[in-house]
A and B are shown apart, each in its own frame.
Chain A
Amino acid sequence: MSLLEVKDLRTYFYTYAGVVKAVDGVSFTVDRGEVLGIVGESGSGKSVTARSIMRLVDAPGKIVGGEILFDGVNLLALSEKEMNAYRGKRIAMVFQDPMTSLNPTLTVGFHMMELLKRDPSLKTKKERWEKAVKLLQDVGIPEPEKRLTQYPYQFSGGMRQRVMIALAIALNPDLLIMDEPTTALDVTVQAQIMELVKRIQEEYHMAVIFITHDLGVIAGFADRVMVMYAGKKVEEADVFTIFDDPLHPYTSALLSAVPKLDMDRSQRLYAIPGSPPNMISPPPGCAFHPRCPYAMRICAMKQPLLAEIDGREVYCWKVIKEMGVVEGV
């Protein structure tokens, strides 16, 4: 049984300007120890998906449909108190901006100790403290004993993110969700954090959902990749296939847009034409069709059906056409 099974998740935002279908029928699974990368533009629904799993969707957002099965239990059917028992302990999350994720008036030690109280194997304060020190060491923070007594403003961005990671793994969760954890950091720090995350994932054998818009980061870390657009999944495959042989036009476009080292300097950078969809009234049919070079009439009329090929999933009329499954087409 998979660790996490998301079935037809729908999360809508009821704003005064209209209903935003941020996540509109998304399904995927994550197995134990597996790394799933979720890729997409801003507004594609990746963050909202992550928050829905944690049931941390704020008003005016609401999870309106679907199931989220974690180790067989439907998280959406739990009470708030029951759900809280999962948070931090079995599913943990690391957010994008480390500069604001820590309470500025509390020491880092306080943050850690408070969390470690929920670890039944640590019975005394001394044990908790030692564990806190070890965790900081694990994430690569020098002088951990001193650091625990310090306040967040005394840490740099990269350091703070390490602290957030330490907090996330403190209770040894089965699933770690990381929502663009390196976007707010410098490139060199990004690399360091990614090394750290990779090492931790291997050591603790955690399942990870890694959300980003940066394909390069995904390439070095994920086992499988799910591409989202306008609140829906458009393609899902293992990481090698996605990069070697993308089927969905959006995925290809994303890959083309990444500048490469061996490009000719006179080549223009590729940018996907058009602009991201209006989420209050998205285009009819396939939401990507206004920007798609292969758009057909049907793309403007109906949303594509799921096509499963060689263990991958694609939602695209062009792919369906090329599969030759429709008579006479």
Chain B
Amino acid sequence: MGRFIIRRIALMLVALWVVVTVTFFLAHMIPGGPFDREKPVPEAIKKNLEEKYHLNEPLWKQYILYLNDILHGDLGPSFKYPDRTVNDIISESFPVSAELGFWAVLIATVVGIWLGSLSALHQGGMIDSVSMFFAILFISLPSFVIAPIFQYIFGVKMHILPVANWGTWKHLIMPALSLALGPTAVIARLTRASMLEVLNNDYVKAAKARGIPGLRVLIVYALKNALIPVVTYLFPLIAAIFTGSFVVEKIFNIPGLGRYYVTSIYNRDYTVILGVTVFYAAFLILMNLLADITYALLDPRIRYE
């Protein structure tokens, strides 16, 4: 088990390194930026820039310096607003995104698993057909489509929820739901398929043949195994929700990291783009790692691959 974890961590570190490297070199290719040697820049500013970003050093040296900074957790100052560091920006806005994301994940997981299990147990019945129809529907609607529709219906027309901004629990509902609907559908379908597959397995029948009560068979034999793919999906789900939050935060004007990221793209705020990308990447890679470890914990067969 330990060896498995170490191998996965190694893989993830390589992936992270790939991201940082690619990001670094891409950032240096952004046209019109401070790294763009061709654009003429006023002398004074040029001096400042060169100092801060070591621009007069050869590229590979800048790269090493950058890696070094990252390892120390220093993502540098914002390019557009030099008196704020990227670290500050992240620590201010990430908690907002985290809160939003947390609720979205919670809703998606609870409702998804519940509906999925129900559908599997009553396969072919009313609940099953209706749930699965809506599931396909919501999978097809990305969060940035649902969000404005919600905004329009509940905010503009019905006036029961605030159209945008952040602050009270009311401001949480629409964005969280917009983010959660798609994933709920995916989890519901996943749970259902998994449950159906497990319920048909021989070991479930064998357990029943030993006289183990139905409810216990359901929980210990069926549900526990059926939830393995669902639990492991949880982590990429968290990743998906955070990416989805870019747009949702923009639509609802929520002061989260996603919105900041989007704005920084508009503004071509290079260091912020770089820094946030690295941060997000690290976060997402961590999620993947946790998913792998969880899967191995739950299913002993995987550990020995």
Chain A residues with CB under 8 Å of chain B are 54, 56, 80-81, 84-89, 92-93, 95, 97, 100-106, 114-115, 118, 151, 153, 164, 167-168
Taking A104-B299, A104-B300, A151-B300 as contacts, is the C-beta distance between A115 and B201 under 8 angstroms?
no
Give the number of residues in B that approach A within 8 Å (Cβ atoms).
23
* Cross-chain contact B203 with A87 (CB below 8 angstroms): no
**Considering the complex of A and B, which 7 residue pairs feature the smallest CB-CB distances, nearest first?**
A87-B211, A88-B211, A100-B202, A88-B210, A101-B206, A103-B203, A93-B209
Closest to B298 in A: A105
Question: How long is the Cα–Cα vector from A84 to B210 in the complex, in angstroms?
Answer: 8
A-B contact pairs, 25 of them (CB 8 A): A56-B209, A81-B213, A84-B213, A85-B211, A86-B211, A87-B211, A88-B210, A88-B211, A88-B212, A92-B210, A93-B209, A95-B202, A95-B205, A100-B202, A101-B202, A101-B206, A103-B207, A103-B225, A104-B299, A105-B298, A105-B300, A118-B211, A151-B301, A153-B304, A164-B206
Chain A: which residue is nearest B200 at the CB level? A58
Question: Is B37 positioned at the interface, with any CB of A under 8 Å from its CB?
Answer: no
Asked if A84 and B211 make an inter-chain contact with CB atoms under 8 angstroms apart, the answer reads yes
* CB nearest neighbor in B for A97: B202
Given A80, A105, A115, A168, which contacts B299 in the complex, CB threshold below 8 Å? A105
Docked Cα-Cα span, A95 to B206, in Å, equals 7
- In whole angstroms, how far apart are the Cα atoms of A97 and B220 in the complex? 21
Q: Is A92 within 8 A of B214, CB to CB?
A: no
Q: From known contacts A56-B205, A97-B202, A151-B300, infer whether A105 and B210 are also in contact, taking CB-CB under 8 Å.
A: no
Q: CA A92 – CA B211 in complex, angstroms?
A: 9
Q: How far is the CA of A48 from the CA of B39 in the complex (A)?
A: 82
What DSSP secondary structure best describes chain B's contact surface?
helix
Tell me the complex Cα distance, A114–B208, Å: 12
Q: Which of B209, B212, B228, B301 contacts A153 (CB 8 A)?
A: B301
Task: With CB as the reference atom, state the residue of chain A lying closest to B204.
Answer: A103
Within 8 Å of chain A (Cβ to Cβ): is B224?
A: yes
Return B209 CB to nearest CB of chain A, in Å. Answer: 5
For B205, the closest partner residue in chain A by CB is A56
Contacts of B299 in A (CB 8 A): 104-105
B203 adjacent to A153 (CB under 8 Å): no
Asked if B221 is an interface residue, CB under 8 A from chain A, the answer is yes
Does the CB pair A114–B203 fall under 8 Å? no
Q: Which of B90-126 contact A (CB under 8 A)?
A: none
A115 to B221 CA separation, bound complex (whole angstroms): 14
Instruction: Find out whether the CB atom of B210 lies under 8 angstroms from the CB atom of A167.
Output: yes
Q: B203–A102 contact, CB under 8 A? A: yes
Contact B203 A101, beta carbon cutoff 8 Å: yes
**Could you tell me if B221 and A103 are in contact, using CB atoms closer than 8 angstroms?**
yes
Distance from A321 Cβ to chain B, minimum over Cβ atoms (Å): 43
A105 to B295, CA, bound (A): 11
Complex Cα gap A105–B229 (Å): 13
CB neighbours of B220 from chain A (8 A): 106
Closest to A104 in B: B301
Q: Bound state CA distance, A51 and B299, in angstroms?
A: 30
Q: Is the CB of A114 within 8 A of B202?
A: no
Across the interface, do B210 and A102 meet the contact criterion of CB distance under 8 Å? Answer: no
Q: How far apart are B12's CB and chain A's nearest CB, in angstroms? A: 25
Assuming A95-B202, A97-B202, A100-B203, is B210 touching A153 (CB within 8 A)? no
